[in-house]
Amino acid sequence: MLALGAASAGAQQTPETFRWVDFHADADQSVVTWVTRALAAEKWTAIREIGVDYDAALVVTVDRPSPQSNPATDTFSVWSVSLTNKLVTPLAKGANLRVLDWMLFAASGPRELAALYDDCRECNATTSFTAFYYDVRSHGWSARWMRGAQAAPLGAAQAPAGVTVTNVYALLADPNGHEMLATWNHFDYGKTKPAEDYLYEYDADPYTRLDRTQLIANKEAEALKLRLCRATDGISNVRSGQDSDVCHETLGTGEARRKGRR
């Protein structure tokens, strides 16, 4: 099923140029007809949402295996559809799409529509985080941090036997309004070898506004661990792992170090 705004803690300002299409409004029928014809050759069962910004539509379709299938088995696809030449560009597909809120990944740019989705249904799914934004260079919609069908993963891949993986993540905001996704994957190998940490930040370059994925290490990694573990009220409620053992240890160690410097 498609959930719109299901994870929002407080709605951010929607860009003035964007609007969701009302399928029942006479004024929007031309857009609905245009999008339907543009997607005629694609595989889908129903159009769930159409959002319009400038000369392009952000479209969410669902596909049901058969007319007798339970709606819970639906999968989704997100498309960019040109409103000038019917050019169709696939952006993302998977299961359990959750549209979140409008976020500011490049402080100098417009807000972008953040979303979560799973790569499969009724499986050991990987949850991805992405953002849909209107690209003025291509006059169409794009999706951030895509690698094939997967965007920014919220957790590490399934760990091998004997290894414990802790995933900590949150959406974080800076005082200037800039927002980002931060993730921490902690691999505990027990007594076989020292634990390993992988920390990433996902946002957009402030000058080019292109996708940016940064591996964080050294002192910056320690600061990010503290920030992630303190994110008990993360943006749009997108957060996990703050009550984990690694976070309790990190906060205890971090507070001890801060007191020692006084």
- Where a domain ends, among 121, 147, 173? 147
Asked whether residue 10 carries a pLDDT value surpassing 50, the answer given is no
Q: Is residue 19 located within the same domain as residue 120?
A: yes
- Show which of 131, 147, 163 is a domain's final residue: 147
Judged on CB neighbours under 10 Å (0-12, 13-18, 19+), 139 is: middle
**Mean pLDDT highest for which of 147-161, 191-205, 241-255?**
191-205
Total number of domains in the chain: 2
Helix (H) or strand (E) holding 164: strand 164-173
Residue with tokens 């409004």: 25
| Summary mean pLDDT of the chain | 90
96 and 167 share one domain: no
- For residues 107 and 175, the answer to whether their CB atoms sit within 8 Å is no
- Judge if 159 and 142 occupy the same domain: no
pLDDT in tens, 40-66: 999 999 999 999 999 999 999 999 999
pLDDT of residue 262: 40
Structure tokens at 89: 């560009």
Residue 121's domain comprises 1-147
Which of 109, 125, 147 is where one domain is finished? 147
- Band (pLDDT 50/70/90 cuts) for residue 92 is very high
Q: How confident is the model at residue 8 (pLDDT cuts 50, 70, 90)?
A: very low
- Does 161 lie in the same domain as 99? no
Residue 175 and residue 74 in one domain: no
Closest CA to 152 of 187, 186, 188, 116: 116
Shared-domain flag, residues 167 and 138: no
pLDDT for 253 beyond 70? no
C-beta of residue 64 within 8 angstroms of C-beta of residue 76: no
Segment 24-50 shows an average pLDDT of: 98
Q: Could you tell me the two tokens for 199?
A: 């920390």
**Distance in angstroms (rounded) separating the CA atoms of residues 216 and 220:** 6
In this structure, the answer to whether residues 239 and 129 fall within a common structural domain is no
Q: Do 50 and 99 touch, CB atoms closer than 8 A? A: no
Instruction: Count CA atoms closer than 13 A to 182's CA, side-chain side.
Output: 26
pLDDT surpasses 60 at 153: yes
> Quick one: 139 and 200 in the same domain?
no
The per-residue pLDDT for range 206-226, each reduced to its tens digit, is 999 999 999 999 999 999 999
Nearest alpha-carbon partner for 90 in 45, 43, 125? 43
